[in-house]
Chain A
Amino acid sequence: MLLQELYLANFRNFRELNISFHPKINVLMGENAQGKTNLLESISYLGSGRSFRTRNDTETIFWGKSVCVISGRVLRAGGENRLKIALDSTERVKKYTVDRVLKERHDYTGKLITVLFTPDDLQLVKGGPQNRRKYLDEEVCKVSPLYEAELTRYQHILRQRNQLLRIYSKKQSSRMEIECWDEELSKSAAVILRKRVAAAHRLNLLARLAHRRLTGGGENLEISYFSTVPFVEKNDEKKLAEVILASLASNFAKEVSLGVTLLGPHRDELQMTLNNRDARQYASQGQMRTLVLALKLAELEYIKGETGEFPVLLYDDVFSELDETRRRLLLEAIDGRVQTFITGTEVKNLLDLGRYGDVFRVKRGEVEGVASHGANPGADVAATAGRKKNKRPDAD
């Protein structure tokens, strides 16, 4: 899929922006604090309906304004779509439209799928299990929009049940009251587990492959899903739910003494090992970077496998950190098949990349085309600048 045009109004530090992008590589360069990450954020937001930086939508609206619009023209195998999200902080509404038709969130997402790569991604390996669960959940959400609702539902049941577990010792709840949440919790947990296990299996195969290429076959990566649920039949949702229900019952005493639900997808771990050792504990900085890169490349292939199309790759700041070999392998992997947005401050490396696409300069919330296509840097400025004046994709 391709993001052809982007229109922003009052998103972060962009008052109004209207640009066309290159189908292959788009380099966004600029000093610190000019809006490079904001621009990537807007693209990811346009696809997922959510910011990767904050849970509070109003933070993304230009300071002092109450309304913001993100819209864009997306080309997919299925055709072209105009996507638009409008936020209104005073009315507290968020409207999703596809081709000017109002949509529910789950009918909106999935039309523009993005994969983000930032320096923070090292937390995937270094950080706690919740980081890896989130990674896995996000991957599943990208390819099956209804999974997100299931996750929310699960978390909601869990919070209600935990509240009862907490007040049980004070005799403010009864076992019967707690048990009336168990059936729904088990059913929801089973749906999540089945999806997660399947995704982890696919990602493992793809990441191992990518990792072998990145390390020249020197290291062996293994990604495995460890569940707190003692399941065997991972493909049979009904059976899985029964196992969870039974486990909840046998864990009752322990759960009320601790006041939390001890078993379920919220306690599972996606373990990553390098040569059979836990990467979280033993991997060096460089090994972690390579591992994350392998995970990202696996993501691209996973999404391609599930949806039939490559997502859009958003690459924030990390490109300059890669060595020559990794950079080449990354370029090979995307090789004109994956529309890529790369940000950075270091001009030299980035301009080299610009040979494969367009180069833009981001400065104080404005974006200017400085070079286009394979030409020498700066030679094709007029072409890019000309395209900039195109009609706004969805300005109403």
Chain B
Amino acid sequence: MYPGTIARLIEAFLKLPGIGPKTAARLAFFVLKMPREEVAGMARALVEARDKTSYCKLCGNYCEGERCVICRDVRRDQAVVCVVQEARDVLAMEKTREFRGYYHVLGGAISPLDGIGPEQLRVRELLERLGGSQVRELILATNPNVEGEATAHYLAKVIKPLGVRVTRIAHGLPVGADLEYADEVTLSRALEGRREM
């Protein structure tokens, strides 16, 4: 239907989440009309982000280098760690400006049907981190859906015996929603209203 190069560009956009054929075509034609420098900048940004971004050895957040900016910040509260599913959820929590502790990114949630159990997540790293640390409270901010709840229950079961207080952010969040789509106000409220597990 389209010349090879355009077809390939549409194909590329189709790989992005939430993009269907119509939107992909619209984006492709938009790109064709953009100034050349802008397109080049965009392409560079894509490759650079992919090349330079890695994961923090301690918390699993996005970073450039060994440790992320949050783990490097010594002014934060060492007594609290907030557990999230994905690195992008750290960003969502940070936007609230309410949380001053550190994070731990699991890299997903327990889902037996997808073959994801605790071993496939960064649970062992979390236990190692907690052992002999000053952490007194662990806030579970996994998504408010079926898998997120099950993951929270699992973590509570393995971590409470260590003598760490385990809390779960409140359910002000829309059921089934992802943390990343929650607005700051909802998220701060969820954090404030957290309950004991």
Contacts and interface: CB of A to CB of B under 8 A. Distances in A.
Interface in B30-54: none
B29 to A, nearest CB: 17
A192 to B, nearest CB: 15
Q: Dominant SS at the B interface?
A: helix
Interface residues of B, number: 21
Given A90-B22, A173-B117, A177-B118, A184 B154 contact: no
B74 interface: no
B117 to A, nearest CB: 6
B112 interface: yes
B158 A176 contact: yes
Interface string A152-187: 010011011101100100000100110111011000
A93 interface: yes
Interface in A122-164: 149, 153, 156-157, 159-161, 163-164
Nearest to A165: B112
A180 B157 contact: yes
Interface stretch (B63-71, B78-86, B98-106, B142-150): B142-150
Contacts of A183: 149, 153
Of B110, B118, B153, the most chain A CB neighbours within 10 A belong to B153
A160 to B, nearest CB: 5
B110 A184 contact: no
Contacts of B150: 157, 160, 180-181, 184
Nearest to A162: B112
A348 interface: no
Interface in A61-120: 90-93
Contacts of A93: 20
Contacts of A91: 20-23
Contacts of A90: 20-22
Contacts of B175: 149
B185 interface: no
B96 interface: no
A184 B157 contact: no
A163 B115 CA distance: 9
B111 interface: yes
Contacts of B158: 176
A180 B153 contact: yes
B146 A156 contact: yes
Contacts of A157: 146, 150
B147 A160 contact: yes
Nearest to A166: B112
A173 B120 CA distance: 13
B20 A164 contact: no
Nearest to A66: B21
A146 to B, nearest CB: 10
Contacts of B118: 177
Interface in A279-302: none
B154 A160 contact: no
A91 B14 CA distance: 11
B113 interface: yes
Given A149-B175, A156-B146, 19 more contacts: A90-B20, A90-B22, A91-B23, A92-B20, A153-B176, A157-B150, A160-B112, A160-B146, A176-B157, A176-B158, A177-B110, A177-B118, A180-B151, A180-B153, A181-B150, A183-B149, A184-B146, A184-B149, A184-B153
Can you list the 3 inter-chain pairs with the closest CB atoms, starting with the nearest? A180-B153, A91-B20, A163-B112
7 contacts: A91-B23, A149-B175, A157-B150, A159-B113, A160-B150, A180-B150, A184-B149
